[in-house]
Amino acid sequence: MLPSRPQGPAPSPRRGHAAELLSDRYLVVHGGYDGGYDREYGIGTAGGGAGAAEHGYLADGAVLDLQTNCWRPLAAEGASFTLSYKR
């Protein structure tokens, strides 16, 4: 039986994020806006704290394995970029 609450480092509370269910097993969450929640409460994001930008815009990601009920940080590769305006 799986625990009622997922285990592992869950992403911080957010809104305006992207989420996708892959292969009916993995829930992938990326980005969004936390309104500065991480800085205000001293809580790191799923990406180790690097995802919270100056105004609470997030660039981190996490994956919830629905079979094991465990969160894990999403590892991404490649160069990052800064938007010239907020979307």
User: Could you tell me the pLDDT band of residue 4, with boundaries at 50, 70 and 90?
Assistant: confident
- pLDDT greater at residue 43 or residue 75: 75
Instruction: State how far the Cα of 35 lies from the Cα of 17, in Å rounded to an integer.
Output: 12
Encode pLDDT of 28-53 as tens digits.
999 998 876 555 555 544 444 444 44
Three state DSSP letters for the chain: CCCCCCECCCCCCCECCEEEEECCCEEEEEEEECCCHHHHHCCCCCCCCCCECCCCEEEEEEEEECCCCEEEECCCCCCCCCCCCCC
19 pLDDT higher than 60? yes
Encode pLDDT of 53-72 as tens digits.
455 788 889 999 999 999 99
Residue 70, pLDDT score:
95
Domain boundaries, the chain: 18-73
Tell me the whole-structure pTM to 2 decimals. Answer: 0.66
